[in-house]
Chain A
Amino acid sequence: MDFDLSEEQRLLKESVDGLLADSYDFEARKKYMKEKGGWSKAVWGKLAEQGLLGLPFAEADGGFGAGAVETMIVMEALGKALVVEPYLATVVIAGGFLRHGGSAAQKEAHVPGIIDGSKTFAFAQLEKNSRYDLHDVVTSAKKKGDGWVIDGEKFVVLNGENADTLIVTARTSGAQRDKTGIGVFLVPADAKGITRKGYPTQDGLHAADITFTNVEVGADSAIGNPADALALIERVADEARTAVCAEAVGAMDESLKTTVEYIKTRKQFGVAIGSFQSLQHRASDMFVALEQARSMSMLATMAADFDNARERATSVAAAKVQIGKSLKFVGQQSIQLHGGIGMTMEAKIGHYFKRLTMIENSFGDTDYHLRRVSESGGLL
Chain B
Amino acid sequence: MDLAFTKEEIAFREEVREFFKTNVPPDTRRKLQEGRHLSKDEMVTWWRILNKKGWGVTHWPKEYGGTGWTSVQHYIFNEELQSYPAPQPLAFGVSMVGPVIYTFGNEKQKKEYLPRIANVDDWWCQGFSEPGSGSDLASLKTKAERKGDKWIINGQKTWTTLAQHADMIFCLCRTDNNAKKQMGISFIVFSMKSKGVTVRPIQTIDGGHEVNEVFFDDVEVPVENLIGEENKGWDYAKFLLGNERTGIARVGVSKERLRRIRDLASKVEAGGKAIIEDPAFREKLTACEIELKALELTQLRVVADEGKHGKGKPNPASSVLKIKGSEIQQTTTELLMEVIGPFAAPYDEHGDAGSNESMDWSAQIAPSYFNNRKVSIYGGSNEIQRNIISKAVLGL
Which residues of A line the B interface, CB within 8 A?
1-5, 69, 260, 263-264, 274-275, 277, 279-281, 283-285, 287-288, 291-296, 298-299, 301-302, 318, 321-322, 370-371, 373-374, 378-380
Contact = CB atoms under 8 A, between A and B. Distances in A.
B205 interface: no
A379 B390 contact: no
Contact of A1 (B2, B259, B389): B2
Given A280-B387, A321-B290, A373-B286, A302 B3 contact: yes
B320 interface: yes
Nearest to B71: A1
Contact of A379 (B3, B293, B395): B293
22 contacts: A1-B304, A2-B1, A3-B300, A3-B304, A263-B396, A275-B396, A280-B386, A280-B394, A281-B390, A284-B387, A284-B390, A284-B393, A288-B324, A291-B317, A296-B290, A298-B297, A298-B301, A321-B290, A322-B290, A370-B286, A374-B282, A380-B255
Given A281-B390, A283-B396, 12 more contacts: A1-B2, A3-B1, A4-B308, A260-B395, A280-B386, A281-B383, A284-B319, A294-B298, A296-B293, A299-B293, A318-B293, A379-B293
Given A280-B387, A288-B324, A299-B297, A1 B72 contact: yes
B294 interface: yes
A378 B303 CA distance: 25
B304 A4 contact: yes
B287 A321 contact: yes
A370 B293 CA distance: 13
A298 B319 CA distance: 20
A254 to B, nearest CB: 14
Contacts of A296: 290, 293-294, 297
Nearest to A276: B396
Given A281-B386, A283-B394, A322 B255 contact: no
Contacts of A277: 387
Contact of B320 (A5, A287, A298): A287
Contacts of B319: 284
Nearest to B258: A380
A369 B5 CA distance: 28
Given A3-B305, A287-B389, A287-B394, A378 B5 contact: no
A166 B287 CA distance: 36
Nearest to A302: B3
Contacts of A281: 383, 386-387, 390
Size class of the B contact interface (CB-based, 8 Å): 35 or more
A377 to B, nearest CB: 9
B90 interface: no
Contacts of A374: 279, 282-283, 285-286
A284 B259 contact: no
B394 A284 contact: yes
Interface in B309-329: 317, 319-320, 323-324
Contact of A371 (B279, B291, B301): B279
Nearest to A369: B290
A275 B289 CA distance: 35
Contact of A264 (B289, B294, B323, B396): B396
B295 interface: yes
Contacts of B323: 288
B2 A287 contact: no
B352 to A, nearest CB: 26
Contacts of B293: 296, 299, 318, 322, 379
A13 to B, nearest CB: 12
B386 to A, nearest CB: 4
A279 B389 CA distance: 12
A288 B295 CA distance: 10
Contact of B301 (A3, A284, A285, A288): A3
Contacts of A299: 3, 293-294, 297
A279 B290 CA distance: 27
Contacts of B294: 292-293, 295-296, 299, 322
B373 interface: no
A378 B265 CA distance: 13
Contacts of A3: 1, 300-301, 304-305
Contacts of A321: 287, 290
A82 B5 CA distance: 36
Nearest to B305: A3
Contact of B394 (A5, A260, A378): A260
B262 interface: yes
A274 B295 CA distance: 27
Contact of B290 (A275, A285, A371, A379): A379
B315 to A, nearest CB: 12
Nearest to B308: A4
Nearest to A9: B1
Nearest to A374: B286
A274 B9 CA distance: 45
Contacts of B295: 292, 295
Contacts of A373: 286, 289-290
B286 A284 contact: no
Contacts of A283: 390, 394, 396
Nearest to A370: B283
